Structure 1
Amino acid sequence: MNKITIAIDGFSSTGKSTIAKQVANHLGYVYVDSGAMYRAVTLYAMNQGLIAEDYFDVKTLNDKLSEIKVSFKFNKGLGFAEVYLNDKNVEKTIRSLEVSRFVSKVAAISAVRKKLVAIQREIGKSKGVVMDGRDIGTVVFPDAELKIFMTASPETRAKRRYNELINRGDNVVYESVLKNVQERDYIDSNRKDSPLVKADDAIEIDNSDLSLEEQFEKVLELVRKTLEIKENKKSN
């Protein structure tokens, strides 16, 4: 059976990871949360005292990149792969607002991107992969058969993120979450190395008013059409 590479890009808190997990599980594909990889490196920088509100020791982080190991281990109970930093499960820790405050700055570092993109490309060599992030369709897998670009208003995304954090038990206020979303949008879109842009051949989905089920069916239909096109090309 033909397998394809599915690249899902978009702004923060657009539900990229949620839809990517759903599609990967449905198709039996490998799911990779590239954003979690950058969050893991950010957590490492925080734990090492290399980054703070008014401080970022980029040189030392670059020097220590060889010490950083980011990997995924499938959790049968959860139904998806969790993120490990140097063999320690950090799946929950990297989702905090504290990590969110710094992840876009860390992700803008060229050496960090080079290291993680190499890992991502290695994972996707055999096709049958769904990967979400900021530059999957433009840099990591520019030849992906299906590229999707997710978007929604900053207010909608901030509300989703706020509810997620509150349900987790975090002590946050909506205004702080909205500010973080807006700041990340700016940094992600304006960084010099691999800025967040919609690939020319990506299909945009604004999910501001879509339910999770509607979104899933919309993406699944795009997958079906892409697979049909690939099968027809193979037959011809």
Structure 2
Amino acid sequence: MGIEIDAIDERIIHRLTQDARHTSAPEIAEEVDVSAPTIRNRIRRLEEEGVIEGYHAQIDYEKLGGRLANLFFCTAVVTDRDRFAQRILDIPGVINIREVMSGEENLHVTVIATDTADIRRIAQEIAALGVDIDHEELLHQEHFQPYEPFGPDQPEMGAPVTGIADLSEDADLVELPVAENAAIAGKTIQTATEEGLITEDLLVISIEREDGANAETPAGHTTIQAGDVATLFSRTGIADEALRAFTEG
């Protein structure tokens, strides 16, 4: 089951996919008009939820001693597909395996070899595991790009505190500080929901602590404190009463 994300998460994913090495939290924050700690908290959440699984270098192995990249299209018993994939990964030279939801050619195995003899050696080790190699191809080049619907050509995001972003016709996203005497200050999200301060259509998607401490991903037991910077999202528009709960006593 997937997790809920918004336009800020989408932009983070787009920018990190585009160039994770040279992209900083402050750069993304400037683009989407939120604070850098908010972006860092969002990235941490995406990592913890398993959305961002890692940051990998894209290598041209041909430039490293003329190594060969080869793709094997293999068929394994469907019920044991994952087990076979793990065993194939242990073979020296195997760098990637895709498990495909099909009966035939359900494992796509990418290998790096020093020469054609090394490719044959890897093929023999795969076959020795009881996996059929249906055919193989030498890879020339791979091309990657970010998922464009998450990119900057989507609707603009509004400024924090001073403005609300229209993510769709009625959706609102706002980042605002919790006032010292706010009605919601000192209450858990569950309590605030039970008291009607947080309505069913309102989602607290992040909380940035005043002292710079990293807050946990908002949940029912999370306490909203005075001085927090809360990011709120609603697909139907945030009511004035909800905003006042965070900014007024």
TM-score scaled to structure 2, two decimals? 0.24
**Higher relative contact order (CA closer than 8 Å, sequence separation 6+):** 1
| Bigger proportion of residues as helix | 1
TM-score scaled to structure 1, two decimals? 0.24
